[in-house]
Amino acid sequence: MPLLIALLATLGPIGIDMYLPSIPAMAAAMGSSEGAIQLSLMTFFVGLMLGQLVYGPLSDKFGRKPLIYTGLSIFILGSIGCALAATATQLQTIRFVQGLGGSIGIVIAFAIIKDQYEGPAMGKMMSMVLAILGLSPVAAPLIGDGLQALGSWRNIFIFLTVYGAIVLSAAAVLLPETRNTEQRKQFQLSQTFKLYGQIITDRKFIIYAFALCIAQAGFFAYIAGSASVFISEYQLTSTQFSLLFALNAFGLIAAAILNPKVHERMGLLQAYKCMNLGFFIVIAVLFACLACGIDSLIIFCIALFIAVALLGFIMPTGTQLALMFQHKNTGTASALLGSLQFGFGAIVVAITGAFSSAGGFGLVSIIAVCALIAALACLILLPKQLPMASR
């Protein structure tokens, strides 16, 4: 059960990370710009965003397994289509389909955990799944680079097709239906979509969600644009980029592990504000260096490593703050938050693709704007302290 849930949950992340080192090669093969290939990441994000809003309530109404079959089938078809894509426009369109299917993974994975486990057992299962998810940005680019080295970037999408088929087969044979008949009968779809409206207009949710989403949008810009910058501008090989990306991912994971200790020392809200301010300062220093003509690969790498590590503090803390006051509607609020994150990400990835010709300076400028808005949101919108019951 833990392995199968983790395999489901990784559908979206590996769909994001695995083809990053191949973006320059894909652009050359299709006769397009790297920015056009980056836009396929934007359409994938749009698919992830819309899928999360739809799959959650539908699985509550009709059960987990029918939606798993539907989502994985769409993901498999999308992966086949990506492997056969001849132009950047085709890739962009089909990546939306693939994202729509891949979004089933994390929605259903956490729904199944909630169905099956309670108390410490639920916490243990969540930790196991999140640990495997944390390894995805480390392993996926390296695997993708290895598959490309076998002959073509198309091998990456063939791999994703096979991966989806294996997960679908395992789910069909090994996974029980965890949503019982009575729960399905009692659930009303209309109420869920009404709750979306109530939650998004709740100030206790939206101020934290906005600050989180805009900071994480900077992270998505880094994901979308870093391959082009390091491979095309700084002349790293795809393997060197994959190793660098993995190193930054380790920094993010280490920060996430240390996050609870930081909360204990500084307090949840103050830690969140400080980390956002630190994120902005680091990116602002890097921006100033590039603006002054100090174009050093070492400085660039160190600054991005620190910035990504700070996001390892920001993202889980922001999620905790946004969901803290949604006691009765945690599941619905979580789905809405995930959709907002990928919605903001899609917008920023589109901007990153449009400014890809500006290289590292353009990428850092976009991240800096996101970091500045997030820091200002923390200073202006967030309260000075949390209510006593929430600390």
Query: 310-343: buried (b, 16+ CB within 10 Å) or exposed (e) per residue?
Result: bbbbbbbbbbbbbbbbbeebebbbbbbbbbbbbb
Q: What is the CATH number of domain 188-382?
A: 1.20.1250.20
Domain spans of the chain, in order of start: 1-186, 188-382
- Rounded Cα–Cα distance for residues 160 and 80 (Å): 8
Amino acid at 359: G
Own/partner long-range contacts of 176-180 (Cβ < 8 Å, ≥24 apart):
177/63, 177/64, 177/65, 178/64, 178/111, 178/112, 178/115, 178/116, 179/59, 179/60, 179/63, 179/64, 179/111, 179/115
Q: How many CB atoms within 10 Å of residue 191? A: 10
Q: What is the DSSP letter of 177?
A: P
- pTM, rounded to two decimals: 0.86
Q: Is 267 helix (H, G, I), strand (E, B) or coil?
A: coil
Q: Is 89 exposed, middle or buried (0-12, 13-18, 19+ CB in 10 A)?
A: middle
379: Cβ contacts below 8 Å, ≥ 6 apart: 273
Angle between the N-to-C axes of helices 2-9 and 154-174, in degrees from 0 to 180, rounded to the nearest 10: 140
What phi-psi label fits residue 267: left (phi over 0), alpha (psi between -120 and 50 degrees) or beta? left
The CATH class of 1-186 is mainly alpha
381: Cβ contacts below 8 Å, ≥ 6 apart: 207, 210, 211
φ and ψ of 309, to 5 deg:
-60, -40
Angle between the N-to-C axes of helices 104-116 and 330-354, in degrees from 0 to 180, rounded to the nearest 10: 160
Choose among 103, 54, 95, 55: nearest CA to 78.
95
- What pLDDT does 101 receive? 95
Please list the alpha-helical segments (H only) found in the chain: 2-9, 11-17, 23-30, 34-62, 64-84, 88-102, 104-116, 119-149, 154-174, 181-186, 189-200, 203-227, 238-266, 268-291, 297-323, 330-354, 359-380
CB 108 within 8 Å of CB 64: yes
The token pair at 137 is: 């940005």
- Rounded Cα–Cα distance for residues 339 and 209 (Å): 11
φ and ψ of 187, to 5 deg:
-75, 135
Angle between the N-to-C axes of helices 203-227 and 189-200, in degrees from 0 to 180, rounded to the nearest 10: 90
- Rounded Cα–Cα distance for residues 237 and 370 (Å): 28
Q: Is 306 helix (H, G, I), strand (E, B) or coil?
A: helix
CB 316 within 8 Å of CB 259: yes
Cα torsion through 195, 197, 200, 205, rounded to 10? -30
- What pLDDT does 119 receive? 62
Task: Give, for all 391 residues of the chain, the pLDDT tens digit.
Answer: 778 888 888 898 899 999 999 999 999 999 999 999 999 999 999 999 999 888 888 888 888 899 999 999 999 999 999 999 999 999 999 999 999 999 988 778 877 877 777 766 665 676 667 667 777 878 889 999 999 999 899 999 999 999 999 999 999 999 888 878 887 787 777 777 788 898 899 998 999 999 999 999 999 999 999 999 999 999 999 999 999 999 998 898 888 888 888 888 998 899 999 999 999 999 999 999 999 999 899 999 999 999 999 998 898 889 888 888 876 666 678 788 889 999 999 999 999 988 888 989 999 999 999 999 999 999 999 998 887 545 5
Q: Quick check: do 1-186 and 188-382 share a fold? A: yes
Amino acid at 175: L
Choose among 113, 111, 234: nearest CA to 184.
111
